[in-house]
Structure 1
Amino acid sequence: MMQPIISFQQYSFKYKNQSEPTLKDITLDIYPGEKIWIAGPSGSGKSTLAHCINGLIPFTYGGDIRGSLSIAGRNPAELSIFELSRTVGTILQDQDSQFVGLSVAEDVAFVMENKAMPREQMKRETAASLERVGMLDYIDHSPYELSGGQKQSVSLAGVLSTDAEVLLFDEPLANLDPAGGRKAMQLIDDIHRQGGKTVIIIEHRVEDVLQQPIDRIVLMKDGGIEAVSTPDEILASGLLRGCGLRPPLYVDALRYAGVSLDGVQGLSRPQPLGIPGLGERLDGWSEQAAAQTPSQPAESLLDVRGLTFGYEPGQPVLKDVSLQVGAGEIVALLGNNGAGKSTLSQLITGILKPQSGSMRYAGQDMASWSIRRRGEAIGYVMQNPNRMITQHMIADEVGLGLKVRGVPAAEIKERVAGVLQTCGLYPFRNWPVSALSYGQKKRLSIAAILVLAPKLMILDEPTAGQDYRHYQEFMDFIEQLAGQGIAFLLITHDMYLALEYAQRAVVLSGGEVLAADTVASVLSRPEVTEPAHLKETSLSLFAKANGLASPERFVQAFINAEKKEKKGHE
């Protein structure tokens, strides 16, 4: 009988200075050559479990251990971190903290140098590893100059140069766009199949992980293992939502349509399910659920017409870009890295000046507006809140913009209190900023702009790095603000966010607008999603695979059903 390469037996771990264990009675065997996905919300214990596997516990993070853990038949606590790294190779979420070389070649060759490998062999193996991940052309570049997806590939090449039997991927899709996520998962699968490695993935992007085959899902909640099973069994059981994770959208759509998933095979990817009469049943449900109540078009707030801009003469980054955002409307700005989304936001906020075209705000030409005046009307929130926060105390951070504008202290105090109430941060008004969670800091960065009473806010990747529960809480908060008349332009790679919260989507690619329409229409058209490196929504792919009459109508039916269910829970 095959012996497990990793075996937890009634294993518990409690960090120093904590009253309760983070891992509770874990019993789990992982076998050589398996591909395992450890899933769970923030705080479920999955990162701590990973630290036990790669040796950070107990070598870096000390604490109280109960039960047993063996890796390749040995107790990791009795090995050095170097000895353990020969069995377990780790690819971290933050690649910058993992790089050790000044060039890509030096970084990939680091392990080989430590083995005193002959120089010519080292060169050959370094080149072979980079060729395998498609990064050979960057062999002489600094790893810090690369994009997020390229850094991920270089980290993979570095691990390929080791003899590690186990590869542990910690949030490998963080900060990758849909195309980058697809490539990363394909690369991980290629390494798994070709190298016979044991692969362990820790990630909360459900659909992205399931693009490639997974042997078993280990579902964690509150420090314990909730379930261990195949993807089909986990998806059919409905356990993902109970563990704070979002199932694939088409699985939810089947549930809304009243289709039983008991014993259904093939749920892990959008493919034909072989259920008799499924297409006709879903077409009937779609026709009924997709019907929309006509809504009044929102009064135009931001009107961008024929915008053209380039950093170098004769090399436009944006070409004849036009878009509109209505008062209280949420619009998703979608597109691949380098499409021009950030440049467009800098033009709107006045950091850059267009070479041609016009921008109007509430009917007024913005050409003569200063950056300060634009900042009072249009707020811009960066992806990372830590890059925006400058004050030590929460109330000081929110009131800073008013203070520099000479607003009286009594009025600042009143307005800050009101905004903190709106953002759910009032109980923390006297706290230091450092005491807030990442999601609370995101709210704080919005509060600091909201206090200036803008009517339009541009949010850059508002939900990056957040699990489904925190993502939902944050976006429900944004939706409430939109209900109060504030418009939002969301720069995002997240197709689900666009589907669930945006009224319309504008897609940029190569500096041009490919489409501006309802989200259901835009994300159901491969001629739009493919050049923009977006993902055609899994709803649309599922509808096509199962022969539905109108994929776009199926997508709209899902959107309406989601909104109806959300209202039912309010």
Structure 2
Amino acid sequence: MTTPIIAFNHFSFKYYSQVEPTLTNINLTIAKGEKVLILGPSGSGKSTLAHCLNGLIPFSYTGEITGTLHINGQQTDQLDLFSLSKMVGTVLQDTDGQFIGLSVAEDIAFALENENVNQEKMELRVAEIAKLVEMEPYQDSAIHALSGGQKQRVSIGGVMVAEEVDLLLFDEPLASLDPATGHYAMQLIADIHSQTNKTMIVIEHRLEDALQLQFDRIIVMNEGEIISDSTPNQLLASNKLEQIYIREPLYTKALKYAGSNIEANQQPEQIEHLVLSEQDKRNLQYWSSHSSVEPVTIVEPRNPLLELRDVSFYYQEKQIFSQVSFSIYQGELISLVGRNGAGKSTLAKAICGFEPIDHGEILFNGTRFDNQSISERANHVGFVLQNPNQMFSKHKIYDEIALGLVLRQVSEQEIRTRVEDVLHICGLYPFRNWPISALSYGQKKRVSIAAILVLNPRLLILDEPTAGQDLRHYTEIMDFLCTLNEQGITIILITHDMHVMLEYTTRSLVLTDGQLIADQSPVDVLTNDTIIERAQLRRTSLFDLAIKAGIEAPAHFIKNFITHDREVRRTWQ
């Protein structure tokens, strides 16, 4: 019989600030050495469950607990936070909230310093871990200078360095990573597991990408309860995910749209292993040929809204991007993609004035923009940062969203109308008087977007707007952005989500190694193996499914799926 490392027994938890419990009657056992994925829509309780495991509940977030939780045979309410931290290592979704050291090496070494490890042994161990997470050349780099993906690797390194930790908990490890780095992160988790047999628990929205790690079980939560505990193949053969608006792998969704019934023995966990019957192939071919594709609206070239002319930027004598030139026209909705550290976020900051360019020109509506102040540019361009915590100035949600209007001396009545409209659109109205600190990371994301949207900018730049969002909120946010776009607001999406790129944008700028290597349609980008490899992108699994099914026009099949899927999701609202 396998030894349980985690045992929830009729466990419930209610925050003192709330009327209803967030977790209700949880009964869950996880054996030592298992790899377990926890899924659920925003607000389902999965983060609260994780906080119970790592000790944030009850030591940081207080509330009422009933039932029991045992870790390694010890009841957690009889342990202190330090004892729990020796058993459970956590990589937070918000990596900035986890760092202690000023440099990469200092942060990785923190746990060893607490244990008073010999200096020579410490340096060897830190170098070993830095190499494993591909941060060896950056050991002396400042944490704040790293990209989101690089920060994620440092966080993983800081957890891995403590060898005695039995359980590793990863909270949305893919949220800030490009597809190739995400694949590496999941492979890294798999390698750690194979070398140490530590128990791995992953909380993640990006199911298809997460399934690169072959999980033993997937736990599905909704409204504070566990509604499914099964193998990946069993789950994908069911309709559980559709019922709670979790995005299932695109290839399984396409099969269901085509009228096929998926069985667990078809191995739907990964597209590479998926077994298609001849009937499945016929269903897909028929569905593809009989589906209609909406014509893509092409923005006719005219005077550009934003122009970059040979723009270069250096940080501490290191070139971030060099001689980047492109034009963006009024009404476009484009994607800016590329590997972690390619300079995408820095380029957006340069447009907004947060970073001064070293060479070239930026023009907005034909007027020099690079010599204007940040406040002057903010009247035209809104920038939603990747990390929402970096954007907040107020304690309560309503006040944060209203702040920009208050500073612009807008009337109180207009402020209330505009703020309430945005609160409804972003699904935040019920929480309008809540403190921001009480929100989940995904909810904070929506607050940061709402605070910019309320200002009605002409150009909106969003850095990973869908990261940490379940499918329902992903759809609501993207449909709202499309509505804004239809009203004339030009939008740039910085994203690692290839489906966002395919589904919502008609043009993609690909940045890598400080160079703009492509300015093409998303389909053209994601069918070009050279661009994919250089920019560390990932070909959609819909293309692979089309090949498996013998469909002669994969691009047409992909467009059909995107059109049909959006129509289905519009019925949710």
TM-score, structure 2 length as denominator?
A: 0.85
> 1:75, CA displacement in angstroms?
1.2
User: Is the 1:38–1:220 contact (alpha carbons within 8 Å) kept by the matching residues of 2?
Assistant: yes
- Residue segments in structure 1 that go unaligned for 5+ positions in a row: 404-408
User: Is the 1:439–1:474 contact (alpha carbons within 8 Å) kept by the matching residues of 2?
Assistant: no
Structure 2 match to 1:252: 253
Task: Figure out how many residues of one structure are paired with residues of the other and give that number.
Answer: 557
> 1:326, CA displacement in angstroms?
4.3
> 1:340, CA displacement in angstroms?
4.1
1:29-40 matches, within 5 Å, as 29-40=29-40
- Residue segments in structure 2 that go unaligned for 5+ positions in a row: none
Q: Supply the RMSD in Å over aligned alpha carbons.
A: 3.5
For residues 129-153 of structure 1, the C-alpha deviation after alignment (integer angstroms, 9 at most, x for no partner) is: 3333333334444445443333333
1:424-439 matches, within 5 Å, as 424=423, 434=435, 438-439=444-445
Q: 1:198 to 1:546 in 2, by over 3 A?
A: farther
Structure 1 match to 2:207: 206
Structure 1 match to 2:65: 65
User: Is the 1:148–1:176 contact (alpha carbons within 8 Å) kept by the matching residues of 2?
Assistant: yes
1:179-218 matches, within 5 Å, as 179-218=180-219
Q: C-alpha distance in 1, partners of 2:109/2:446?
A: 41
Structure 1 match to 2:77: 77
Match status 1:164 vs 2:165: yes
User: Is the 1:394–1:430 contact (alpha carbons within 8 Å) kept by the matching residues of 2?
Assistant: no
Q: Which amino acid aligns with 1:309?
A: V
Q: 1:420 to 1:168 in 2, by over 3 A?
A: closer
For residues 472-502 of structure 1, the C-alpha deviation after alignment (integer angstroms, 9 at most, x for no partner) is: 2222211122222322122222222222222
Q: Which amino acid aligns with 1:321?
A: S
Q: 1:318 to 1:433 in 2, by over 3 A?
A: farther
Q: C-alpha distance in 2, partners of 1:237/1:447?
A: 38
Structure 1 match to 2:291: 289
Q: 1:155 to 1:397 in 2, by over 3 A?
A: closer
Bigger shift: residues 82-91 or 299-308: 299-308
Q: C-alpha distance in 2, partners of 1:27/1:428?
A: 33
Q: Which amino acid aligns with 2:48?
A: T
Structure 1 match to 2:541: 538
Q: 1:323 to 1:553 in 2, by over 3 A?
A: farther
User: Is the 1:335–1:533 contact (alpha carbons within 8 Å) kept by the matching residues of 2?
Assistant: yes
Match status 1:130 vs 2:130: yes
Q: 1:100 to 1:381 in 2, by over 3 A?
A: closer
Q: Which amino acid aligns with 2:451?
A: S
1:403-418 matches, within 5 Å, as 403=409, 412=411, 416=415
Structure 1 match to 2:501: 498
Structure 2 match to 1:228: 229
Q: C-alpha distance in 2, partners of 1:489/1:150?
A: 23
Structure 2 match to 1:339: 342
Q: C-alpha distance in 1, partners of 2:292/2:519?
A: 20
1:464 aligned counterpart, secondary structure:
coil
User: Is the 1:54–1:84 contact (alpha carbons within 8 Å) kept by the matching residues of 2?
Assistant: yes
> 1:308, CA displacement in angstroms?
0.8
User: Is the 1:319–1:512 contact (alpha carbons within 8 Å) kept by the matching residues of 2?
Assistant: yes
Bigger shift: residues 221-230 or 331-340: 331-340
Q: C-alpha distance in 1, partners of 2:362/2:81?
A: 59
Q: C-alpha distance in 1, partners of 2:467/2:291?
A: 30
Q: 1:367 to 1:125 in 2, by over 3 A?
A: closer
> 1:369, CA displacement in angstroms?
8.6
Structure 2 match to 1:406: none
User: Is the 2:363–2:370 contact (alpha carbons within 8 Å) kept by the matching residues of 1?
Assistant: no
Q: Which amino acid aligns with 1:266?
A: Q
Q: 1:150 to 1:483 in 2, by over 3 A?
A: closer
When Rg is computed on C-alpha atoms for both structures, the one with the higher figure is: 1
2:38 aligned counterpart, secondary structure:
strand
Match of 1:529 among 514, 532, 539: 532
Structure 1 match to 2:556: 553
User: Is the 1:389–1:397 contact (alpha carbons within 8 Å) kept by the matching residues of 2?
Assistant: no
1:347-426 matches, within 5 Å, as 348-349=351-352, 355=359, 359=363, 361=365, 364=366, 366=368, 370=372, 375-384=378-387, 387-388=390-391, 393=399, 396-400=402-406, 402-403=408-409, 412=411, 416=415, 419-420=418-419, 422-424=421-423
User: Is the 1:317–1:510 contact (alpha carbons within 8 Å) kept by the matching residues of 2?
Assistant: yes
TM-score, structure 1 length as denominator?
A: 0.86
